[in-house]
Each structure stands twice: as structure tokens, then as C-alpha cells.
Amino acid sequence: MTVVVDVDGIHKSYGGVHAVRGVSFRLAAGEMLALIGPNGAGKSTCFNMLHGQIKPDRGRITILGRDTTRLDPRRIWALGVGRTFQITATFGSMTVIENVQVALVSADAALAWRLGALGTLKRAEAERLLALVGLADQAGRPCGELAYGDLKRLELAVALSNDPKVLLMDEPTAGMAPAERIDLMRLTAEIARERGLGVLFTEHDMDVVFEHADRIMVLDRGNLIAEGSPTAVRHDPKVREVYLGGGSTFAAETEVAAPAPGGAQ
């Protein structure tokens, strides 16, 4: 099995808050790895460090054999890392297909500095990606008109435009209707397997997590407290302590944390 991401003892503090304390893990090609934990556990900080938005205080991150600890997001992208955001980040003033075209053209040095119009550059490829995520019929629509779930799909298409080896997905299904969630994660899992993509994702919806993850890591107050197969994690006493200690259940957690559709803003 090929390791695509190797995280070795990363730390991050903000002021006095020690958000991530020595987290280490590996992600293999073709694997769906979930990172879960209560709010404030340090999931987003981990993601942002992997993606280069934040630099770790200590530790080392290796992606596809390269030390990326100090690299910027755009260099990490160039290595072959796609990313979707917890709150969707798309180009609201463009059409759906233009969103994908920009990503494709920017990755192509020969096209990036052409002075002619973007027009049909990489259009066929963009259409293929949109078809892959099920947005083919929406290609010409203004991005700002899309339903929230479709925006999440668009993000996935954009993230895949670089033919990445690693996909970082921060709450990919937040704000989606339950049926849509399952669709999107099934699609992601298929792509991961087909293309040998390593996928790291965080998720509040435990149904999604236990359904689609090959492996689950549990983060609590900056520490990795458990790691293993869904079944192993489900029965890990430390995990139960973290989630159930406050008297809540997995189900309750899901209710509280998953925002109502469209209400994530």
C-alpha cells in the first residue's frame, strides 16, 4: 500500500490554546480516512496545516514523498492535493463550468498566460468533471444560483481538476439533505477507489462516517485518542467517554452539530 500522506507529530498553539498536540497518522492511496471529534477538538486546524494555510509549530508533514510542512496551499495543490471547504468556497461571479475551467487552465502553464478569452479552453475536460459529479446539466448556470448541495459537488469537481492523489474534504456533506449526503460520499468513495486517491475527511454526520470510512481517527482536545476500523472505534471506551461523557449520544451529537440544510451560513 502506498502512503500518500505522512503526518509526524504536528503541534499548533494559538496564544495559550494548544489546539493540536502531537498528531501523527498516515493516509494510504485509495483509502477513505475520517477524522472525527467534538467541536473544538482541532480537526479544522489539522486540515489547515495539511493544506498549508497554517504552519505547524512543530512536527513534519510529508505528502507524496515531499516535505510540505512549510509549503503554501498553491504549492501543495501543485503536488496533487485537492481540497473542499467546510463553508463552500467557489467563484460566485462565474458560471459553474467556468469555475472548473479556471482551475484546469491555471494548472496548465501553456494556457495560463494566453491573452485570448478563456472561452472554450479546457471546456471538454471541465464538462467531463461536471458529469462525474452530476452537474452536467448545470454547467451554464451562474454559480451563485446553485443549491447548497450542488455547490458542494462543484467544489468536488474543482478539487478533482488537478487529477489529485490526495483529497482533503472538510465536512463535505454539511448542510446537505440526508439523501444527498449519501450520494456524494458514495461518489467520492468510488472515485477514490478508481483513481487510487487518498481521501481524508472530517464529518459531523456519524452515519456518513461509519458508512463510508475505511478507517476512523478520533481527535479530542488536540490529541488523537483512537484510530482504527469503524467497528473498533465504535466500541472504543475512550471514544465513548468523549462523546458520551457529557451525556449525549452519537445521535444527539449528529442532531446538534449538523446544521439545517441551507443554514450553514
Partner 1 sequence: MAFLIVQALTGLASAASLFLIASGLSIIFGVTRIVNFAHGAFTMIGAYLAYSLTERLGGAFGFWFGLFAAAVAVAAIGAATEILLLRRIYKAPELFQLLATFGVTLMVQDLVILAWGPEDLLGRRAPGFTGAVMILGQRVPAYDLFLVAAGPVVLGALWLLFNRTRWGILVRAATQDRDMVAALGVDQKWLFTSVFALGVFLAGLGGALQIPREAVSHSMDLRVIVEVFVVVVIGGLGSVPGAFLAAVIVSEINAFGILIFPKISIVVVFLVMAVVLVVRPFGLFGRPEAARRTTPGATIRPWQPLGRAGRIAVAVLVSALAAAPAFAGPYLLSVGAEILLFVVFAASLQFLMSVGGLASFGHAAYFGLGSYGAALAVKWLGAPMEAAILAGPVLAGLGGILFGWFCVRLSGVYFAMLTLAFAQIAWSIAFQWVAVTGGDNGILGVWPTAWASKPAAFYWLSLMVATVSVAALRILAFSPFGYRLRAVRDSTLRAEAIGIDRLSTQWIAFAVAGAVAGLAGALYAFLKGNVFPDALAIPTSVDGLVMVLLGGLETVSGAAIGAVAFKALSIWLMSQTDYSKLVLGAIIVVLVVFLPKGLGGLADLVRPSGTGRNDASGSSPSEAAR
Binding site residues, partner 1, CB under 8 A? 51, 53, 72-74, 77-78, 82-83, 85, 87-95, 98, 101-103, 105-107, 111-119, 121, 142-148, 151, 155, 158-159, 161-162, 262, 265
For residues 145 and 241, which CB has a smaller minimum distance to partner 1 in the complex? 145
For residues 173 and 242, which CB has a smaller minimum distance to partner 1 in the complex? 173
**Whole-number Å distance between alpha carbons of 2 and 80:** 15
Question: Do 154 and 82 touch, CB atoms closer than 8 A?
Answer: no
We find the least distance from the C-beta atom of residue 135 to partner 1, in angstroms, to be 14
Query: Three cell numbers at 222?
Result: 488536540
We find the least distance from the C-beta atom of residue 45 to partner 1, in angstroms, to be 15
We find the least distance from the C-beta atom of residue 172 to partner 1, in angstroms, to be 14
Please give the DSSP secondary-structure letter assigned to residue 64: T
Q: Give the position of cell 452530476.
A: 134
Residue 231, φ and ψ in degrees, nearest 5: -65, -45
Question: Do 83 and 159 touch, CB atoms closer than 8 A?
Answer: yes
Q: Which amino acid is at 80?
A: G
We find the least distance from the C-beta atom of residue 234 to partner 1, in angstroms, to be 33
Question: Do 242 and 37 touch, CB atoms closer than 8 A?
Answer: yes
For residues 20 and 151, which CB has a smaller minimum distance to partner 1 in the complex? 151
We find the least distance from the C-beta atom of residue 197 to partner 1, in angstroms, to be 16
For residues 71 and 224, which CB has a smaller minimum distance to partner 1 in the complex? 71
For residues 107 and 136, which CB has a smaller minimum distance to partner 1 in the complex? 107
**Whole-number Å distance between alpha carbons of 164 and 46:** 19
